Amino acid sequence: MNFTTFLQGNIFFGKGYLSKIIEISKHLGKITLIVTGKKSTKESGALSNLIDYLKDVGVNFVVFDKVEPNPDVNIVEEGGKVFLENSCESIIAIGGGSSIDAAKGIGVYASYKEIIPFLLGEKALDKKIPPLIAIPTTSGTGSEVTKYTIITYKERKLAIASPLITPNFAILDPDLTLSMTQNIVRDTGVDALSHALEGLFSLGANPISDLFGYEAIKIIYKYLPRSFAKKDDYEARESMHLASLFAGIQISQSGTGIVHGMGYPLTVKYGFPHGFSNGVLMPYVFKFELPAQYEKMSIITNILGFGTGNLYEDAEKFIEILLDFYKILGFPKNLKELKVKEEDLEIFAEEVSKNERLKRISPRITTYEDILFIYKNAYFGVL
Ligand SMILES: [Fe+2]
C-alpha cells in the first residue's frame, strides 16, 4: 500500500466558536474583506456578531455581500477588485459553500489580478492567496477545509484545485447552522453524503481519507433525518457540521467523481441546488460503479448494520439503503419527475465526458456512452 497525504489548515469546532476570530485576529492584518451572501447571514445575525468581534479587536473591514449560489466569475472579479481597492490584507468568508468558494476565487484574483486562466487550466497557482478564514453556516460543502473552488464561467462550472487556496483557518460553530431551512439542511446534507461516498469510491482515496469517509457516512445516516425533521435539534445540527467537515477533509485528498461532474450541468441549466443534483444522480452512478467498488459498498452496508455476510448482496443492498434514506428526506426518484428535458442529456454527457480530471479518479472507465447511459437511467428511474 502506497499513499501520499497532506492535511493542512487550523480547525476550530465548537458552540459559540465564532468568537475564535478574536484569537486569530493577528492574521487578519489592518483591514479584512468579509465575503458573504445577500441575505442569510444578515437575517441570522451571524454577520453582525462577526462584525462586533472585529470591532472589539480593532480590525477594520469591508463587507462584500453580493455572493449568490453557484458564484459566477463576474462576482468573483468584482470582489477581487473591492479587495485591491481597499488594500485588504485578508479575507473572511461567512456563509454557505458559495461564499467560501467565491472567497477563494477572490483570493486568487487579489494575488494575480485575474482568475479566468486558472479556471481554464491555462495557468497554475504558484503562491498562497491572502490569509483566508472560512466560517460555514451550512453543513455540507466542506469547502472550509478543501483545496477546491468551483466557479461558474460561461455557463460551465469550473474548478481550481490547489492547496494554495485552502483556508488557513476554519471556524465551525454549530450555532450558525440552526437557522438553516429544511431544504437547505437536506440539500447540503446530501452534498456531504455525496462527498463521503464519492470520496470512498474515488481512485484518489487512501486509508486516511477512507477513515473520514466511513465516519461521515455513519454520522449522516443517523443525524441527517433528525436535522431535517427538527430545527432546534442541536445535537443533530452539530453532528452534521462535524460530518460535513470530515467529508471535506476526505475529498481534499480523494477528490469527488462522476456524481459531481454529472450534477454540475443540472445545476447550471435547471438551477437545482448542488447537493440536490448530486443526490438524484447518486443511486444511478453507484449502480454503474458497483462492479468496481462492491467491497467498499458492502462495508458501508455492514457499518450501517444491514450486512448479510454475502459480499455482493451487501453491495447491492447499499443502493437500496440509499433509496430508503431518500424516502425519509422526500427526495425525487428521477430526472423526468423534475421536468428535465431528455434532449439535454446528450449535451450534458458530451460536456462531462470532456472532464479528464473526473475520468482519472472514476473507479470505472467512463466514456461518453457510459455517462449518457447513466443520465438516461437517472431520467427514467432505471436501476
Ligand atoms: Fe459537493
* Joined grid coordinates for residue 373: 447511459
The pLDDT of 84-112, averaged and rounded, is 98
Closest by CA to 199, choosing from 304, 280, 293, is 293
Q: pLDDT-derived band of residue 240, with 50, 70 and 90 as boundaries?
A: very high
- Please give the distance, rounded to the nearest whole angstrom, from the Cα atom of residue 308 to the centre of ligand 1: 31
- Please give the distance, rounded to the nearest whole angstrom, from the Cα atom of residue 242 to the centre of ligand 1: 16
Q: Strands, E, within 88-168: which ranges?
A: 90-95, 132-136, 148-153, 156-161
- Please give the distance, rounded to the nearest whole angstrom, from the Cα atom of residue 235 to the centre of ligand 1: 23
Torsional class of 121: left (φ above 0), alpha (ψ -120 to 50), beta (otherwise): left
pLDDT at 8: 75
- Please give the distance, rounded to the nearest whole angstrom, from the Cα atom of residue 254 to the centre of ligand 1: 13
- Please give the distance, rounded to the nearest whole angstrom, from the Cα atom of residue 16 to the centre of ligand 1: 26
- Please give the distance, rounded to the nearest whole angstrom, from the Cα atom of residue 310 to the centre of ligand 1: 31
The pLDDT of 112-116, averaged and rounded, is 98
Question: In this structure, which residues have their CB less than 5 angstroms from ion ligand 1?
Answer: 191
- Please give the distance, rounded to the nearest whole angstrom, from the Cα atom of residue 29 to the centre of ligand 1: 31
- Please give the distance, rounded to the nearest whole angstrom, from the Cα atom of residue 370 to the centre of ligand 1: 22
Q: What is the pTM of this model?
A: 0.95
Q: How far apart are CA 38 and CA 224, in angstroms?
A: 26
Q: Could you tell me which residues come within 8 angstroms of residue 105 by beta carbon, excluding any fewer than 6 positions away?
A: 71, 73, 76, 79, 80, 115, 149, 151, 160
Cα–Cα separations (whole angstroms), residue 49 to 98, 162, 234: 20, 31, 20
pLDDT at 360: 83
Going 212 to 319 to 220 to 190, the CA torsion angle's sign is: positive
Q: Which residues of 350-361 are buried (b: 16+ CB within 10 A; e: fewer)?
A: ebbbebeebbeb
The pLDDT of 332-352, averaged and rounded, is 95
Q: With 90 as the cut, is the pLDDT of residue 196 above it? A: yes
By the 10 Å C-beta count (0-12 exposed, 13-18 middle, 19+ buried), 371 is classed as buried
Mean pLDDT over the full length of the chain: 95
- Please give the distance, rounded to the nearest whole angstrom, from the Cα atom of residue 23 to the centre of ligand 1: 30
- Please give the distance, rounded to the nearest whole angstrom, from the Cα atom of residue 26 to the centre of ligand 1: 32
134: β partners: 93, 170
pLDDT at 164: 96
- Please give the distance, rounded to the nearest whole angstrom, from the Cα atom of residue 260 to the centre of ligand 1: 6
pLDDT at 66: 97
pLDDT at 225: 98
The pLDDT of 86-114, averaged and rounded, is 98
- Please give the distance, rounded to the nearest whole angstrom, from the Cα atom of residue 191 to the centre of ligand 1: 5
The domains of the chain, with CATH numbers, are: 10-177 (3.40.50.1970), 182-380 (1.20.1090.10)
Q: How far apart are CA 89 and CA 54, in angstroms?
A: 14
- Please give the distance, rounded to the nearest whole angstrom, from the Cα atom of residue 353 to the centre of ligand 1: 19
pLDDT at 2: 74
More confident position, 357 or 337: 337
pLDDT at 357: 78
Q: With 90 as the cut, is the pLDDT of residue 293 above it? A: yes
- Please give the distance, rounded to the nearest whole angstrom, from the Cα atom of residue 190 to the centre of ligand 1: 9
pLDDT over 90 percentage in the chain: 92
The pLDDT of 240-248, averaged and rounded, is 97
Q: With 80 as the cut, is the pLDDT of residue 4 above it? A: no
Q: With 90 as the cut, is the pLDDT of residue 365 above it? A: no
- Please give the distance, rounded to the nearest whole angstrom, from the Cα atom of residue 182 to the centre of ligand 1: 18
DSSP for 207-264, please give it.
HHHHHHHHHHHHHHHHHHHHHHH-TT-HHHHHHHHHHHHHHHHHHHHH---HHHHHHH
- Please give the distance, rounded to the nearest whole angstrom, from the Cα atom of residue 274 to the centre of ligand 1: 7
Residue type, position 63, single letter: V
Q: How far apart are CA 363 and CA 259, in angstroms?
A: 12
More confident position, 61 or 359: 61
R_g (Cα) of the chain, nearest Å: 20
pLDDT at 205: 96
pLDDT at 91: 98
Residue with cell 489548515: 9
- Please give the distance, rounded to the nearest whole angstrom, from the Cα atom of residue 68 to the centre of ligand 1: 16
- Please give the distance, rounded to the nearest whole angstrom, from the Cα atom of residue 148 to the centre of ligand 1: 10
Q: With 80 as the cut, is the pLDDT of residue 186 above it? A: yes
- Please give the distance, rounded to the nearest whole angstrom, from the Cα atom of residue 121 to the centre of ligand 1: 20
Q: pLDDT-derived band of residue 3, with 50, 70 and 90 as boundaries?
A: confident
pLDDT at 217: 98
pLDDT at 366: 87
Q: How far apart are CA 368 and CA 366, in angstroms?
A: 7
The pLDDT of 210-232, averaged and rounded, is 97
- Please give the distance, rounded to the nearest whole angstrom, from the Cα atom of residue 107 to the centre of ligand 1: 21
